[in-house]
Copies of this chain bind each other. A is one copy, B any other.
Amino acid sequence: MRGPWAASWRSLGRKTLHSSTSSSSPSSSSLSSHLKLLGPNLPDVWMVPCPNSSAFRSQSSANGKTANVINEKSIARAIRAGIANEICRMKETIVKSPGLAIVLVGRRRDSRTFIHVKLKACEEVGITTYVEELPEECTEDEVLRVVSRLNNNPSVNGIIHVDEERIINFVSPEKDVDGFHRLNMGNLAMKGREPLFIPCAPKSCIELLLRSGVEIMGKRAVVVGRSKIVGLPTSLLLQRHHATVSTVHSFTKNPEQITREADIVIADVGIPNLIRGSWLKPGTVVVDMGTNQVQDPGIDQEAIKVVSAITPVPGGVGPVTIAMLLSNTLDSAKRAFGFI
């Protein structure tokens, strides 16, 4: 019986995908069907949207070679337009709109930038925002009181913050639009269970791949880095999409040997320019999540010669990540209001 079993195992892996011919323009219906693809409960075979010509732009490297650079700004614009349409429809139908609360503890400068960008994005699509500021020296009780009030406020559909350790455990999982609540992470980790929200950066990574027409199922994906915000949930999500996932980190002896076998490389690295051209096989698709602290690329510029598609840093996946936050907030509001 060994032969047939092994053959059946292998043939499963060889299953091919059929590309759909739609999903270039972000009408509300195509948006929702597309977003469904990002959910974790995928059918074994699903339709991959055709490469959208506007999803790419060419970029010349220093020596004149070009690569397809995933046009994340155009993708983010398309997603936001779809979300704005949905919110319009919500307002017209049930006279309600989604609400997002931002809890800030202390007055750190990076927090200011953090809220400014997100508040502007919310405003543009019609999400109402609530900002709650707490002093750096506030007690846990004070944080709890503020978050509880937001948990109980039916106009607030999502709660985000920049001080994960102090706040995350208080946020209701139904409003955890960042997707880091352990209930949501636990459900993301387990096949057959569905998280209410998928973390925004990993979701944007999958969104970028799918909207660029990159097949994920059956592909070798290597995630470089295992941060809890990006690398780790991205590994889980890629696996949900039936990629063969390897995670490479600082304890990996020869990371370049593993990345060289990858069809898709996700770079979630804290070291600028860590991933060089020699780390990649020709034709690899690279999503560079950038380094955490600085806006430097995790991928060296020479890599442009090698890859078939790449997200640029700075400015790479950021706009799509913010669009995913808006999308999670919209999803939450739809669930809370029973709006389909």
This chain: how many copies in the complex?
Answer: 2
A177 on interface, CB distance cutoff 8 Å: no
Does B244 contact A244, Cβ atoms closer than 8 Å?
no
Does A189 contact B186, Cβ atoms closer than 8 Å?
yes
Shortest distance from the beta carbon of A15 to any chain B beta carbon, whole Å: 7
A37 on interface, CB distance cutoff 8 Å: no
Instruction: Give 1 or 0 for each of A185-196: 1 = CB within 8 Å of chain B CB.
Output: 111111111000
A182 on interface, CB distance cutoff 8 Å: yes
Shortest distance from the beta carbon of A195 to any chain B beta carbon, whole Å: 9
When distances are taken between beta carbons in the complex, the residues of chain B under 8 Å from A121 are: none
A283 on interface, CB distance cutoff 8 Å: no
Does A272 contact B183, Cβ atoms closer than 8 Å?
no
Does A182 contact B191, Cβ atoms closer than 8 Å?
no
Asked if A192 meets B228 with Cβ closer than 8 Å, knowing A2-B300, A13-B253, A274-B6, the reply is: yes
When distances are taken between beta carbons in the complex, the residues of chain B under 8 Å from A217 are: 251
Does A244 contact B242, Cβ atoms closer than 8 Å?
no
A26 on interface, CB distance cutoff 8 Å: no
Q: Across the two chains, which residue of chain B brings its CB closest to A1? A: B272
In whole angstroms, what is the CA distance A298 to B189 when docked? 24
User: 8 Å CB contacts to B: which residues of A8-53?
Assistant: 8-10, 12-15
Does A258 contact B271, Cβ atoms closer than 8 Å?
no
Size category of the binding interface on chain A: 35 or more
Asked if A246 meets B249 with Cβ closer than 8 Å, knowing A185-B190, A228-B191, A274-B5, the reply is: no
Does B249 contact A244, Cβ atoms closer than 8 Å?
yes
When distances are taken between beta carbons in the complex, the residues of chain B under 8 Å from A252 are: 13, 218, 244
In whole angstroms, what is the CA distance A188 to B190 when docked? 11
Shortest distance from the beta carbon of A107 to any chain B beta carbon, whole Å: 25
Shortest distance from the beta carbon of A100 to any chain B beta carbon, whole Å: 23
Does A13 contact B255, Cβ atoms closer than 8 Å?
yes
In whole angstroms, what is the CA distance A251 to B241 when docked? 10
In whole angstroms, what is the CA distance A232 to B191 when docked? 8
In whole angstroms, what is the CA distance A228 to B193 when docked? 10
Does A242 contact B249, Cβ atoms closer than 8 Å?
yes
A93 on interface, CB distance cutoff 8 Å: no
Does A271 contact B6, Cβ atoms closer than 8 Å?
yes
Q: Across the two chains, which residue of chain B brings its CB closest to A246? A: B246
Asked if A244 meets B250 with Cβ closer than 8 Å, knowing A185-B186, A232-B189, A232-B191, the reply is: no
8 A-B contacts, Cβ less than 8 Å apart? A8-B271, A10-B254, A12-B251, A186-B186, A186-B187, A189-B189, A193-B228, A244-B251
Q: Please provide the 3 A-B residue pairs with the shortest distance between their CB atoms, ordered closest to farther.
A: A186-B186, A182-B186, A246-B246
